Amino acid sequence: MRLRCAVLDDFQGVATTIADWSPVADVVEVTCFERHFGDEDALAAALGDFDIVVTLRERVAFPASLLARLPRLRLLIASGMRNSVIDYAAAEAHGVTVCGTPSSSTPPVELTWALLLGLARGIVAENDALRAGGPWQSTVGADLHGRRLGLLGLGKIGGKVAQVGLAFGMRVGAWSQNLTAERAREVGVELAPSKEELLAESDFVSVHLALGDRTRGLVGAAELALLKPTAFLINTSRSAIVDQDALLAALHAGRIAGAGVDVFDIEPLPAGHPMRSAPRLLATPHLGYVSRSNYETYYGAAVENIRAFLVGTPVRRLG
């Protein structure tokens, strides 16, 4: 009897074709779910008969209460090597092995610049007008060359974003609670003296921090009020770092020129959610990690994880 494997949030329906699952086909039956399960009861009902679950990023939480309702689960695979919504102690207590996969930082860097450039040059508004027979030119683009790019976070992703900014001829500054002058010099950017200075003096601000107790709500109403009225905010990191209600208020009031957002407090966004219709907002449905190479890595490594688990030598263990 083959083991049953569930793949969650396969929105594009590519999980079993973008990677080669044949090495486990004889022993594992794979079922992909293209719709998102929005609550624990739905998850427990859907996953109760599965031995293996592959979950994408941190969209689906696996708390102790859910793990207790999945008696057959033996292997939980998360994309990436960090996942803050899995209760590792509970998984161990229930005999569930948790493994991760490699993940590239390049796709979120590229999406960050897609959002920033789209906002700066009014790409969506101009494209919509052109296709609908609207006005020929209605926006005046914001320049990048010579403008200041402020980065909240200068880790692996932030550092790569900085390099692109420098290539555009931007002045790049960065700040985080742990950022050192040595790291800033290594990347070739300015170490901002404070978060407040970075926000007040930057023309574009991009968030590249891990979510934790110190970064949750780091950018709220007071911080948004520091931004220039001509400034743009980009968040491809974690939604909870930027207060979503405060951002919506700033956009509606026109206190900033615009925002590019790829992450949300609720995912997928419900129909009618205010983020779907906010003015001055360029939004994408959490596409930062969604690229062919990353998916090939995620699902290819998931197959490797399953093979290793089946022979008793799990790899890339988390927790």
Torsions phi, psi for 77 (to 5 deg): -115, 125
Is 183 among the residues known to form the active site?
no
User: CA nearest 100: which of 119, 82, 84?
Assistant: 82
40 is catalytic: no
238 included as an active-site residue? yes
CA atoms within 13 A on the CB side of 149: 33
SS (H, E, C) the chain: CCEEEEECCCCCCCCCCCCCCHHHCCCEEEEECCCCCCCHHHHHHHHCCCCEEEECCCCCCECHHHHCCCCCCCEEEECCCCCCCECHHHHHHCCCEEECCCCCCHHHHHHHHHHHHHHHCCHHHHHHHHHCCCCCCCCCCCCCCCCEEEEECCCHHHHHHHHHHHHCCCEEEEECCCCCHHHHHHHCCEECCCHHHHHHHCCEEEECCCCCCCCCCCECHHHHHHCCCCCEEEECCCHHHECHHHHHHHHHHCCCCEEEECCCCCCCCCCCCHHHCCCCEEECCCCCCCCHHHHHHHHHHHHHHHHHHHCCCCCCECC
Catalytic residue, from 183, 267, 296, 307: name it: 267
Strands 190-191 and 75-78: what pairing?
unpaired
Q: ∠ CA 171-198-186 to the nearest 5 degrees?
A: 55
Closest CA to 28 of 53, 46, 2: 2
Q: Of residues 57, 147, 148, 238, which has the active-site annotation?
A: 238
Catalogue the active-site residues: 238, 267, 286
